[in-house]
Amino acid sequence: MWATLHVNDTEIGVQVLWAFSHILDWDKEAMDLVMENATLQTISHRLSHPSTDMRRAALRVLGNICSGPVDYVEKVLASGCIPTLQAWVRPHFEDQELLKEACWLLSNVAVGPTEHIQLLIDAGLVKQLVDVCSDCPARIVACIC
């Protein structure tokens, strides 16, 4: 399954990412298995894929990982996803589902240590989250709070 992360077939890639997402929901052992074998840079790179389905699936995987141990969150943050999140986390972003998932991922990061919160502040994402809270539907704001 790990090798299929690098396949150019969008449909296969989307299904593999959703499989990872569901595996990550199981328990810590499942998360450890994904973290040992998956390439987070490859998953983060999928955030800029032309397919909305691919972007959503990749974001869900990264969000699930960010609900795990601090060292896993740090690996996600180091994987290059921050610039994409900066582009998506803003009021009136055209894809409300991506915005909701991005806010959820960032809320998982924000419950971590001070260094994670400082990274969000330095990237301008805390201000962007505040802006989203003041001008988005309640279902999106609920992902932040």
pLDDT in tens, 93-111: 888 889 989 999 999 999 9
How confident is the prediction for the chain on average, in pLDDT?
Answer: 86
Does 48 score more than 80 pLDDT? Answer: yes
HSE of 56, CA atoms in CB hemisphere, 13 A:
12
Q: How many domains does the chain have?
A: 1
**Residue range of the domain that includes 100:** 2-144
Q: Give per-residue pLDDT as tens, 9-42.
A: 889 999 999 988 988 887 788 788 777 766 788 8
Please determine, for residue 143, whether its predicted confidence score (pLDDT) is greater than 70. Answer: no
- The pLDDT of residue 124 is 96
Q: Does the reported pTM lie above 0.85?
A: yes
CATH number at residue 54: 1.25.10.10
- Of 71, 69, 72, 44, the residue nearest 58 (C-alpha): 44
Side-chain half-sphere exposure of 77, counting CA atoms within 13 A: 24
- Check residue 1 and give its pLDDT: 53
